[in-house]
Chain A
Amino acid sequence: MKRRTFLKLSAAAGAAAASAGCARTYELLPGMNPRGWDPHAETEQTSFCTLCPARCGLRVRVVDGHARAVAGLAEHPINRGGLCRLGASALQLRLHPHRLVSPYHLTDHKGVIEKTTWNAARTALVKALSESQGRALVVVSSLAGSTRIDLWRRLLGEIGGEVVLWAGDDMEASWAEVARWTMGVDSPPAADWDRSDLVVTVGLDALATGPSPVWAQHVLGSNHGAQRWLHVGPRLNATAARADLWLACRPGTEAWVLLAMAYVLLKRQAHDAVFLARHTRGFEDLAGQILEQLDPRRASRITGVPEDRLLEAGVMLSTSRRPVCVPGEEALWTANGHVAGWAALVLNALSGSIATPGGLVIRPPLPLNDLPGKIAAAQPLGLWLRRVASGDAVEPAVLILDLANPLFTFSDGSAVGRFFAKASQRFTFSLFADESAVRCHWQLPAAMHLEEWGDCAQPPGVPFDAYLLKAPAVQPRGEARAVGEVIVEAAADLGVELPAASYTEILGHRAAGLAGLNRGAMLGDLERLEQVAAMEERGWWFGNSEGFGIKKLAEGGGWADLNTGTPNWSQCVGTRDALVDLLPEALGNAHLAPPEEPPRLVATPHLEVARDPDLALTVPWTLRTAGLVEGQSWHCWAGINPVTARELGVTDGDLVRVRVPGGAGEELRVHAAVLPGLMPGVVSLPLGFGHRPGPSFFGGDDMRPVAHLIPLQLHGKLPTRIVGGVPVDLEVDRG
C-alpha cells in the first residue's frame, strides 16, 4: 500500500470512528446511564451518624445516586461541622468488601448456608415469633432513644417477650447502678460540659471514645483557655494528654482519688452547703467519714498519686464555680467500679452540680406521640443475664439481633453464647457476617445509617434536649433493608396495631408530638437556634409556629432546644423523699475499705478508636489513622510502663503471655507495647481487637480477647466481667 493511500484510509476510518463516537452514549460506569440520565446530578442530603451514641450531624454528597463524600454538618448543634475519624469513614463502612448484602439461611447444624429471599426470611420470622410463647428476645445495639427500639418493644409487648439493649452498657452498669442507688433514676445522667468551668473525667477518655467524643472536642475547642480539665486514671489517654492536670492512679483506686479531693473541698469549706441541705441526705455522716478516714496522705498510699497532686486537684475543685465529674469505663469496669461511680456522684453533689447548668443533667423524655397498646420493657443485657441466672426471666426460644454482635462486644460473650445454643430460632439484622451473625439461622443484611430513615430522641452524652431525624441519603446496598420497615411488616403479619402502615409514617406520627412544645427550634439554622435559646433564657415567651412535618424535620436534621434549662427537681430524683442519698445502703462500707496492698501487676482495659468496638475496626482508614497499620499492630497488645518492662525483662514488640494467676481464664498471647504514659505495674489491654472481618485474633473462636483472659468467678456483685485492677502475670513467650 502506498503511503498516500494509507493516509486516506486512516483518515476515513478516523472520521467514521469519530462520527460513531458522537452517536453513542458512553457508559462511564456499568449500568449508570439509563434513559433520562442527568450527567453529574448532584445533591446534598442531611443525615446523622449512628456509629457511636453521639449522633453527629452529617452532610452527604450524592452524585448520580452514589454517595461520594460525608462531611460534618456545620449547622448541627452537636458536632457543628466536626467529625471523628470513625464518622468520617462512613462511606468505607457502606462499601466495605465484607458487607453482608444478601439474606442467607443456615440450613443445618453443620454450618451450611445458602442464599435466601427476604420473603422467606419474613415468613420464618413471623412464624417463629407467633410460636415463641412469650420467649422471644430482641437484642438491640447502639440505637438508644430510637423509634426502632420502641417498635420492637411494641411487637414483643403484644406477643410476649423481652427487649434488651447493648450499648456498652455492661461497662457503664456500675454508673447506672449508682444512679439507681442514690437518685432513684434508671439511666445515668449526662454532663453539661459546655457550661462547666472544671471537667473531671474519671477513667473516661471523653475526647477519643465518648460517650460523645465530637461534642467533648467541640467543648474543649470552644472553651479553650476558659475551662480546666482534670483526668483521673492509670493511662495517658487522649483526654489525659490534653488535661490541665492528670492524676495517674492504680486501676481500681479512682474512688479514693476523688474522695481525697472531696476531703480538700470539705476542709476548705468550699462545698455547696445550701444544695446539700436542700437536696441530699447523709451529708453529715459522709463528711465525718471523709474527714476522719480519707485524708490525702492515706489516699496517696492507696492510689499511688503523690500527695501534693491530690492537694492541687482538691484546690482546683474548690476554686471552680461549676465543676462536673464524669466516670468512664476504665474506672467503672473494675472491681471497685461502683465505688468510683458513687464517688463521682458524691463529688458532683458536694459541688452542687446536680441538675444545674454546668453539672449533671437529667433530661426527662421528650413528648413524642406514643405507640398504642402494650410495650415491653427494655433493659441492659447484663441485667437481663443476671435475671435469667436468678430465675426471674425465661431463656429465649427466639433470638433476634438488631445491629448487635454481643458475642464479641459484650464483656461476657460466653454467657451470651450459652443462650445462643438454647434459642431454637436465631435471626440477625447485621452489616457483616460477624461473630454473632454466623451463629444465626437467618443472616439478614441491614441498611446502614446513610441508607434508611431513623430518629433519636435525647442522644446520650449531650446536655440539651434534641430529637434527630434523618431520611436515607442513598439506596441500601445490595439487598440490604431498613430494619424498621421489616418490623412494621412483621407487625402487620402478626396483627399488632401500629399508628401507621409504614415506618416513615410512624416516625412522622411520633415527631408530631413535638408540635406543642413551644420551645426550641428545628435544625438547619444554628444561629437562629442559638437566638431562640438566648430568648428563652431571658424568660421570653416563644411562640411555636413551626409545623413538625417529617419532611421539614428531616431536611434540617431534627429539632433541638439548646436552653434545656433545669428540670423540676422531682423529674431529676426518683427517690421517695426526692433527696439524693449520699450513703446508700447498697454501698455498705465499700468506700471505707480500699485496697491497701496493691498487687505487683494489674490490668486496665480501655477502648480504642471509638465507643463502638463492634464497627470501628472494620474500617481500613480508621485502622490506619489509629496507627495500627504503621505500627504493624493489627492485633491486640499489652501496654506496659518502661520501668516495669525493664524489671520483667520485656522489650517493645516482644511476644508476651498475660494470664490471671489462679484463674480459670485462658492465656493471652500478645505483643508488648512499652508505653511511657502508663502507671508502673499496670498492663493496659485495648478492647475491640481480633475482630472479624479483620484479622482474627483467636482463629475460630472470635470473642473479645480480654474475655478469654478474665475468668467468670470474678463477676462479684455486678453483672459484668471485671477487668480493671485484676492482678495479672506477664512474661516473655520464649517459645
Chain B
Amino acid sequence: MDRARYGMVIDLERCTGCGACETACAQENNIPPSTPEEAAQGRTKSWMKILVQSEGEMPDVEVSYLPRPCMQCDNPPCTRVCPVHATYLSAETGIVGQLYGRCIGCRYCANACPYGVKYFNWQRPQWPQPMEEMLNPDVAVRYKGVIEKCTFCHHRLQLARDQAAFEGRDQVRESDYQPACSEVCPTRAITFGDLDNPLHEVHRAAQDPRAFRLMEDLGTQPKVIYLRKGK
C-alpha cells in the first residue's frame, strides 16, 4: 500500500452547527452517553465537538461554529510526552494513533495537547441496557484508566484496504475511506482524504486562500484545516 497523509478540511462557512457529526462520531466509535453528573465534573467525551461562539450585540450578533476533532498534528506534542509510546504518529497514514493496551493513564498527553482533544476514561464506559447491542464491532471499547481520542475512523481505512485487496487494487480510493463525520455532514462542510494526493478533493481544498489551522504558531502542524473568510 502507498503512503498517505490523511487530513481534513472543514469549511466553517458551510457548517450550520447541526451536530450530526458529533452524533455520528459517537455512534461509530462506541462513545458512551454522558450523564449530568459527568457533565458537571467536566468529564464528557466527544471526539468530535462543535464549539459555538457568539459575538456582538443585537442586532449585530454573529454566531460561529467550530467542529473540533483531533488535529492529527504532523508534529504532535502528545506523542513526545508519552512515557510508554502508547500514542504515536503513523508514518504510513499520518494519523496520530492511541494504543489502549499500552496506555498507563498518566494523562501527560492530555495535558500536552493544546487542543484539549484527548479524553481520559474516569469510569468504566457503560451503556443503558440493551444499548450495548448497537456497539460497532470494528471499534474497541476503551476501559477505565486509559486515554482515547479521534482516530479519523482508521478502522474504516483497514476495511477499505481489505476491500481494495479483495478487488485486486493496490490503492484505496478517496471515496472508499471517509470518517463518519464527513460522511454524515449534510452541507458537505467536511472534506477528507490524502492531503498529498493531488487527485483528492481535500488536497485542492487545503490550498484555498481562506485556509488556516488552529494555533499554527505553536508549530504543531495540524492536518485539520479550516476555511473561513478573514480567518
A residues with a Cβ closer than 8 A to B are 40, 63, 66-72, 79, 81-85, 87-89, 91-92, 94-97, 207-208, 213-214, 217-218, 220-222, 224, 236, 238, 241-242, 246, 248, 305-306, 309, 620-627, 629-630, 632, 634, 641-643, 676-680
Contacts and interface: CB of A to CB of B under 8 A. Distances in A.
Interface in B171-194: 180, 183-189
Nearest to B50: A625
B87 interface: no
Nearest to B186: A82
Nearest to A242: B16
Nearest to B13: A224
Interface in B7-56: 11, 13-14, 16-20, 22-24, 26-28, 33-36, 39-40, 44, 46, 50, 52, 54, 56
B61 A676 contact: yes
B135 interface: yes
Contacts of B20: 82-85, 87-88
Interface string B50-76: 101010111101110000000000000
A214 B186 contact: yes
A81 B187 CA distance: 10
Contact of A207 (B16, B22, B24, B180): B16
B133 interface: yes
A266 B204 CA distance: 45
Nearest to B56: A676
30 contacts: A66-B134, A68-B134, A70-B27, A72-B183, A82-B20, A82-B184, A84-B19, A85-B18, A91-B27, A92-B131, A220-B16, A221-B14, A221-B188, A236-B54, A236-B63, A238-B16, A241-B17, A241-B63, A309-B59, A620-B128, A621-B33, A623-B33, A624-B44, A624-B46, A629-B35, A629-B44, A632-B36, A643-B57, A676-B58, A679-B58
Contacts of A676: 54, 56-58, 61
Contacts of B180: 71
B197 to A, nearest CB: 21
A91 B134 contact: yes
Nearest to B40: A632
Contact of B27 (A79, A88, A306): A88
Contacts, number: 161
Contact of A83 (B24, B56, B131): B24
Contacts of A641: 58
Given A79-B186, A89-B23, A641-B58, A68 B135 contact: yes
B22 A85 contact: yes
Given A217-B186, A305-B59, A632-B36, 9 more contacts: A68-B135, A69-B27, A71-B180, A81-B184, A82-B188, A85-B23, A96-B128, A208-B16, A620-B128
B168 interface: no
Nearest to B33: A620
B68 to A, nearest CB: 13
B17 A238 contact: yes
Given A84-B20, A217-B186, A680 B39 contact: no
Nearest to A634: B36
B101 interface: no
Interface string B181-222: 001111111000000000000000000000000000000000
A interface majority secondary structure? mixed
Contact of A622 (B13, B23, B54, B57): B23
A66 B14 contact: no
B130 interface: yes
Nearest to A98: B128
Interface string B130-171: 110111110000000000000000000000000000000000
A221 B189 contact: yes
B134 A92 contact: yes
B134 A236 contact: no
Given A207-B16, A629-B34, A634-B36, A217 B128 contact: no
B58 A88 contact: no
Nearest to B32: A620
B63 A680 contact: no
A218 B186 contact: yes
B26 to A, nearest CB: 5
B185 A82 contact: yes
Contact of B183 (A68, A71, A97, A217): A71
Contacts of B63: 236, 241, 677
A633 B131 CA distance: 24
Nearest to A206: B16
Nearest to B57: A676
Contacts of B40: 632
A67 B130 CA distance: 13
A93 to B, nearest CB: 10
Contacts of A69: 27-28, 134, 136
Nearest to B59: A248
A88 B189 CA distance: 17
B27 A625 contact: no
B131 to A, nearest CB: 5
Give the 7 A-B residue pairs with the shortest CB-CB distance, closest first.
Answer: A82-B186, A221-B187, A620-B33, A217-B186, A625-B19, A241-B63, A97-B128
Contacts of B35: 629
B184 A72 contact: yes
B59 to A, nearest CB: 5
A217 B18 contact: yes
A625 B22 contact: yes
A84 B44 contact: no
Nearest to A217: B186
Contacts of B137: 40, 63, 68
A323 B195 CA distance: 39
Contacts of B136: 68-69
Contacts of A218: 186-187
Contacts of B16: 207-208, 217, 220, 238, 241-242
A72 B180 CA distance: 10
Contact of A71 (B14, B44, B50, B184): B184
B23 A306 contact: no
